Chains A and B, each alone.
Chain A
Amino acid sequence: MLKKGDVILVVLALAGIAAGFGLIRLGAGTGDGAMTAVIKQGDRVIKTIDLNEVEAPEKLVITGDYTETVLIEKGRIRFLEADCPDQVCVKTGWLSKNGDMAVCLPNRAMIKIEGQSADVDGGTY
Chain B
Amino acid sequence: MKKSTKKLVLLALMVAQALVLSIIEAWIPLPVNLPGVKLGLANIITLVAIIFLDFKSALAVVVLRTFLASVFGGGPIVFIFSAAGGILSTVVMAVLYKRFRRTFSITGVSIAGAIAHNMGQLLAAGIVMKEAAVIFYLPLLMAAAIVTGILVGICTNLLAEALKKTRIFD
- Give A contacts to B, CB under 8 Å: 1-6, 9-10, 13-14, 16-17, 20-21, 24, 40, 42-43, 65, 85-86, 88-89, 91-93, 99, 101-103, 105-108, 110, 112
Contacts and interface: CB of A to CB of B under 8 A. Distances in A.
Contacts of B131: 40, 110, 112
A46 to B, nearest CB: 13
B155 to A, nearest CB: 14
Contacts of A21: 139
A61 to B, nearest CB: 19
Nearest to B154: A1
A20 B119 CA distance: 13
- CB-based closest 6 A-B pairs: A20-B139, A6-B108, A5-B103, A85-B73, A5-B104, A43-B130
Given A3-B108, A9-B111, A106-B77, A16 B139 contact: yes
A25 to B, nearest CB: 10
Given A88-B36, A106-B74, 7 more contacts: A5-B96, A6-B108, A85-B74, A106-B75, A106-B78, A110-B131, A112-B133
A20 B142 contact: yes
Given A92-B35, A99-B136, A17 B111 contact: no
B35 A88 contact: yes
B116 to A, nearest CB: 11
B105 A13 contact: no
23 contacts: A1-B107, A3-B102, A3-B108, A4-B103, A5-B100, A6-B107, A6-B111, A10-B111, A13-B145, A16-B139, A17-B139, A24-B139, A65-B75, A85-B78, A86-B74, A86-B78, A88-B36, A89-B35, A93-B33, A101-B136, A101-B137, A102-B35, A108-B77
Contact of A110 (B107, B112, B129, B138): B129
A97 to B, nearest CB: 12
Interface residues of B, number: 36
B103 A3 contact: yes
Interface in B90-132: 96, 100, 102-105, 107-108, 111-112, 115, 125, 128-131
B143 interface: yes
A109 to B, nearest CB: 9
B11 interface: no
B96 to A, nearest CB: 8
A6 B100 CA distance: 11
B81 interface: yes
A4 B96 CA distance: 13
Contacts of B138: 20
Interface in B132-157: 133-134, 136-139, 142-143, 145-146, 157
